[in-house]
């Protein structure tokens, strides 16, 4: 089994710009798919949620902003991973069990703060591969990664 080099920890400005660019691309993608973005970069002691959205299982109406979403609406917590090249593997391979555990804990906290949101929830991963000039080469939306 060939081991891939370990990706350096996000420490420089270029990595932060890359991550932000990936999250922008993912949010645009979800909006075009009729997801309703509720929050981005929600931070808690346990971790961070890149994107929090309502899946488009029910018709979207402006009035719904102030009402509890219908019972068939799904609250989606999206982890976004962005890479230039595959030197460190596919972007989605960076979503480790530890990272998923952080997302689950942070999602639980977010849900406790917002009891008006749907009980039905899932965690998705959006994996984005970019060229050196930040052109999108591939975008994969993996739904319900925790099954």
Domain count, the chain: 1
Task: Please give the Cα distance from 98 to 132 (Å, whole number).
Answer: 29
The band of 62, judged by pLDDT with boundaries at 50, 70 and 90, is very low
For residue 1, being part of any structural domain is answered with no
Residue indicated by tokens 């899946």: 55
Does residue 4 form part of some domain? no
Mean pLDDT of 4-8: 52
User: What digits encode the pLDDT tens for the residues 118-141?
Assistant: 999 999 999 999 999 999 999 999
Tell me which H or E stretch contains 139.
strand 136-142
Give the pLDDT mean for 22-36: 97
Asked whether residue 7 is assigned to any structural domain, the reply reads no
At 57 the pLDDT is: 67
Most confident by average pLDDT, 4-8, 68-72, 86-90: 86-90
Residue 56 lies in a domain: yes
Provide the domain limits for residue 110: 13-142
Residue 65 has pLDDT above 50, yes or no: no
Model confidence at 11, in pLDDT bands (50, 70, 90)?
Answer: low
Give me the pLDDT at residue 5, please.
52
Reduced to 3 states (helix: H, G, I; strand: E, B; else coil), residue 104 is helix
CB crowding 75-86: b at 16 or more within 10 Å, else e: bbbbbbbbbbee
Measured CA to CA, the distance from residue 87 to residue 6 in angstroms comes to 9
Assigned domain for 41 exists: yes
Out of 26-35, 64-73, 105-114, 138-147, which region has the weakest mean confidence (pLDDT)?
Answer: 64-73
| The pLDDT of residue 15 | 78
Segment 46-67 mean pLDDT: 72
Tokens, residue 15: 């990595």
Q: Is residue 104 domain-resident?
A: yes
Which CATH number do you get for residue 30?
3.40.1350.10
Tell me, what's the pLDDT at 54? 97
Q: Say how far apart CA 65 and CA 36 lie, in whole Å.
A: 10
Angle at Cα 84 formed by Cα 82 and Cα 85, nearest 5°? 120
For residue 3, being part of any structural domain is answered with no
Mean pLDDT, to the nearest integer, of 38-66? 80
Cα-only R_g, the chain: 16
Let me know if residue 137 belongs to a domain: yes
């Amino acid at each position: 089994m060939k081991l891939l080099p370990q990706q350096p920890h996000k420490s420089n400005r270029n990595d932060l710009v890359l991550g932000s660019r990936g999250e922008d691309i993912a949010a645009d993608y979800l909006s075009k798919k009729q997801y309703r973005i509720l929050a981005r970069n929600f931070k808690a002691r346990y971790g961070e949620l890149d994107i929090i959205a309502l899946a488009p299982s029910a018709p979207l109406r402006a009035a719904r902003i102030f009402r509890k979403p219908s019972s068939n609406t799904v609250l989606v917590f999206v982890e976004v991973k962005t890479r230039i090249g595959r030197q460190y593997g596919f972007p989605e391979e960076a979503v480790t069990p530890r990272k998923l555990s952080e997302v689950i804990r942070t999602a639980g906290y977010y849900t406790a703060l917002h009891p008006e949101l749907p009980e039905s929830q899932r965690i998705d991963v959006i994996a984005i591969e970019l060229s050196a000039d930040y052109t999108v080469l591939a975008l994969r939306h993996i739904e319900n990664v925790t099954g």
